[in-house]
Amino acid sequence: MSTPERLIESTRELLWERGYVGTSPKAILERAGAGQGSMYHHFKGKPELALAAIRRTAEELSATAARVLDGPGTPYERIEAYLGRERDVLRGCPVGRLTMDPEVIASASSGLP
């Protein structure tokens, strides 16, 4: 996996675990196994990297929903299949939890997710 990919994937995991405020650039770099300047070489900073990570997560969630909801069965069966799919329900929604993050709310006009 390339360095930018490792950075995005590490950021996705950390955002889900810790939220935006709790995800430091140092933690991202450590999780990604990347050097100190790697994040700033590939991204303008934490906000741009977080946005790339959140977009990827949203795309995956959307694709999963489309696969199940556009699949076979009655509308009720498809909704039931979507709601009953295998997932880590105790961790919550990886995008939804960011909607309550104080720094994301305060910085919405600055381009943060």
Closest alpha carbon to 32 in 51, 48, 49? 49
Give the residue-averaged pLDDT of 44-61: 93
CATH of the domain at 25: 1.10.357.10
Q: At what angle do helices 3-18 and 46-69 cross, to 10 degrees?
A: 80
Tell me how many domains the chain contains: 1
At 71-100, the pLDDT tens digits run 999 999 999 999 998 887 777 788 877 777
* pTM for this entry: 0.80
Domain that holds residue 16: 3-87+94-110
What is the model's pLDDT at position 113? 47
